[in-house]
Amino acid sequence: MQARTWKYLIASAGLVITAACADDQPATKVTMPSRPSLIISTACDFTKIKRDARGYVVLSNDPIYDLFNQLASLNKGTDADAFKAKAYEILAYIGSIAGTTAVTSNTTAGDALINDIFTCLGIATTAGTFTPALGANGLFAVRANVPDFVLSRGTPKYGAQPTTGETWKTSANLPPGVQLVVYGYPRNVNTFTGEPPLIPTGYELFTVPAVPLFAKAIIGGVCLDPASIPANARLLHEHGGQDAVLAPVTPPFCLPLIGQAPNESRSLFALVRRVSDWIAPKPLYAASMVLGGMGGSLGGLSPIGPVLVDGSTVTLTVTQQPTIGSINTNFNPPIKVSAATAAGTPLGGVLVTLSVIGNQGSPVTLKDNTATTANDGVATFTTFQTNKAGGYLFKASGTFAGAVTKADTTTMINVNGQTP
């Protein structure tokens, strides 16, 4: 056999052997990780967090950087609840140092930092949302299962708190692990209502997550010197596109500092700052250290502002009444009377009295014939009764801040002499 033929045979045999060996090998090589990769939030960018912090926080060794390291460490574990709690702790810390010498005037960087932390929490927020809340008269605080109030920086102060016996968690009906971020900033009153303002400035109040309607009402208010508040001044609340002038409540948080305000860090620095803030306020509101202020019950957090109401221009309107009734028995349906300002805004806190028009013969006695309008502007006479049969017209008259309002009258109500 020729040498060339042997070469071809040897080469072919080699190819067959190689192919056979290849068939014995696994089709794909699987690479196993050396250790499990556990990340709670892949969206959490710690490089960006620290960069934005450097633009807002003055000191390179500020405690906030240790909090970042703790958050990063938790992010590599499996305890999502601890991770979220630490993120909220960072947000609370930012609120505690806002407006102090611990931060720069670059509130845009502060806003970016807050948005970074919300990203870690998986909560979408928009750039610029929190910039005004970090300003001189801003408010930024974190609350959960506590009754503590939140209070702004600067003057006049404004804030909010749960009603007695409630916490922010129960008031907002927060799900497990979620805390409420409350923030606010100044806004001109005339940008959200046509009612005449007591002072030009009102305040926006918001929460993250948004709470359209609190399960339990929140008390909100503005801290002013009581001597500067006329009798006809009230707090207006704009919510869901509807204005309401609220029945008056003195905000419990409008008082001189005795201890540390609960929306600030528990440091001596924060305490000294709060003391100096109250002792040396701006001259225009120097008397705001006096216990007082204007407040009301809020169904949700949204714009508030002090306004003036001329009681003599307030109108009353009978909006519900029965046509028949019985003596010594509650009218059904009950008489309802609404009160509104000259601009048509529902007005709380109006004392409404029902009286009989044109009674003949023996006097008629009325039971529970006074009621006060609620924040929706409606007074309901749930237990109103008469003790004498006849056909009656009832006049609804009101008083507000010492002024007599405009009156209204029911149509005829026939009361029979038989008790059901």
Q: What residue ranges in 168-323 does DSSP mark as E strands?
A: 180-188, 201-208, 218-222, 233-239, 242-245, 294-298, 304-308, 315-320
CATH top class, domain 312-416? mainly beta
Mean pLDDT of 188-211: 96
- At 218, give phi and psi (nearest 5°): -110, 145
CA-based R_g, the chain, Å: 34
In this prediction, residue 291 carries a pLDDT of 59
343: which DSSP letter? T
pLDDT at residue 365 is higher than 80: yes
403: which DSSP letter? E
pLDDT at residue 201 is higher than 70: yes
DSSP string, 286-318: GGGGSS--EEEEESS---EEEEE--GGG-EEEE
Question: CB–CB of 175/145 below 8 Å?
Answer: no
Q: How far apart are CA 89 and CA 64, in angstroms?
A: 10
Q: How far apart are CA 92 and CA 154, in angstroms?
A: 18
29: which DSSP letter? P
pLDDT at residue 89 is higher than 90: yes
Mean pLDDT of 264-285: 38
Q: What percent of the chain has pLDDT over 70?
A: 82
Round the average pLDDT of the chain to a whole number and report it.
86
In this prediction, residue 358 carries a pLDDT of 83
Q: Where are the domains of the chain?
A: 39-135, 137-308, 312-416
